[in-house]
Structure 1
């Protein structure tokens, strides 16, 4: 059994201007314990895939299974944490009521409901607003409520569609840290994001979709480790041979892996401060190349 199993998924939206094939034979799977980033441009088919997985849409062809069960069965979603791209919460409820009702729907009762809701409202930074109406909360606070609802389940599978949407920089870091913690504790994470750095940090592998078709699947570590050139940046008053100015007192160069120890030693010798050492070809570069080829 797999956490997510999608085979030949196809979805066509009918419109006066012409049919739009949102998904065209998409197939992939997510094993238990995996952390997978699902990436693509706006309109690529990410949210459509997730909506089919959670029974909000019906596929025209293909099969989607969640936790080993057909995704159109409600019991497939029991114990699965999910936050959609634009969470809709009943605006007359409070964050406490949202989280507690979610826990009860998934079979939790009594003191466990009270304990878990309090814990996750606190961890998501909304305990102070736990008894305010959703209608009176900002978009960021509503997003935190939806995330608290999902994390409180301590799910075997956590599916997040643009989880950082509406969050300020502090909130983004807090949620990324929670996702990392969940992943390190053995949870299964499947998330959509436009922020490719989050995929590089939080995912074991990525699945790239573009215009309804699967374009790439690969381990993030393998992608980054395969790069022969590393981009080195440092802060200093003196320019080293081969480095070009990157603004002010910043210097930048592409350095071969075998030359990296010498480059770092040279930076230290001129009393520079190494800022970062990154593979020259990142996930962002791969994404741009795929999109560029499709557009040409």
Structure 2
């Protein structure tokens, strides 16, 4: 059984009487225990795909399955945690009530319900606002409440749509750490993020979508390990041969992976402080290249 199976999904919306295709033959899968980043520009089709997975929308064609069951089956969502980009929580409830009621929906009651509710209120730093109405909370606090609601059920599959949205830098780091803990404990994670560095750090694989079509699917480690050219940045007074000025006292240069054993000691001998050593072609670079190529092809097709 796979955690997520999507096959040939098509979905169109009407805009001023004209059909606009949001998904065009989208297919991918997520294995149990995997961590998969779902990336793409705004409007690429990420949220539409997730809404179909959770039964909020119906596809025009194709099939979507969640935990081995058709997405239309409510039982497919039992034990699955989900946080949309803009959580819609009942504004008359409190964070304590939201978490506790979510646990009850998944069959967790009594003292275990209370224990988990209190634990996650503390874990996500919302205990001080536990009995305030959702309507009176900031966007960040509402996001934390939704995340606590999803984590508290100890989900077999956790689906997060832009989980860092509305959070301050401390909150973003905290949520990234929670995702990493969940992943390392063997949980299955499927998440959307515009922060591609987080995808590189938190995902085993990525699925890239643009204009409703899947453009790339690959292992993150496989992508990064396949790059022979490395980008090196360091802080120093002068630039070594082959390095150019980046900003302030920062210098950058490219070298082959096999040359790092020579280049890095040379930087340290020159009293430089190494800032970054990473593959030249990161996920961000691949994303940019795919999007640009897709747009060029679209312009040529319409001309």
Shorter-chain TM-score category?
A: over 0.9
1:44-75: per-residue Cα shift (whole Å, max 9, x none)?
Answer: 10000000000000111001000000011111
Corresponding position of 1:214 = 214
Q: Which residue of 1 aligns with 2:300?
A: none
State the alpha-carbon separation in 1 of the partners of residues 238 and 62 from structure 2: 60
Residue 17 of structure 1, CA deviation: 4.8
Listed as ranges, the matches of 1:234-249 within 5 Å are 234-249=234-249
Deviations 1:90-140 (A, max 9, x none): 111000000000000000010011000111111111111111110110000
Deviation at 1:15, TM superposition (A): 2.3
Q: Where do 1:64-103 residues align within 5 Å?
A: 64-103=64-103
* Matched residue, 1:125: 125
- 1:162-219 superposed Cα distances (whole Å, 9 cap, x missing partner): 0000001110000000000000000000001111111000000100011111110000
Structure 2 residue aligned with 1:183? 183
Give the secondary structure class of the aligned counterpart of 1:14: strand
CA distance in 1: counterparts of 2:117 and 2:138, whole angstroms: 20
Q: Does 1:52 align with 2:52?
A: yes
Q: Distance in 1 between matches of 2:249 and 2:84?
A: 43
What is the CA-CA distance between 1:281 and the residue it aligns to?
0.5
CA distance in structure 2 between the aligned counterparts of 1:85 and 1:283, rounded to whole angstroms: 22
CA distance in 1, matches of 2:42, 2:142: 22
- CA shift digits 1:200-244 (9 cap, x unpaired): 000001000111111100000011111111111111113211111
Residue in 1 that maps onto 2:272:
272
5+ residue gaps, structure 2, are 297-303
Between the aligned partners of 1:154 and 1:23, the Cα distance in structure 2 is: 31
User: Within 5 Å, which residues of 2 pair with 1:1-296?
Assistant: 1-296=1-296
Cα distance in 1, alignment partners of residues 87 and 39 from structure 2: 19
Give the 3-state SS of the residue equivalent to 1:19 in structure 2. Answer: strand
1:136 and 1:272 map into 2 onto residues whose CA distance is 50
Distance in 2 of aligned mates of 1:202 and 1:264: 27
Q: Distance in 2 between matches of 1:144 and 1:138?
A: 10
**How far is the alpha carbon of 1:249 from its aligned partner?**
1.2
Q: What TM-score results when the alignment is normalised by the length of structure 1?
A: 0.99
Q: For 1:41 and 1:130, locate their aligned partners in 2 and report how far apart those are by CA, in whole Å.
A: 35
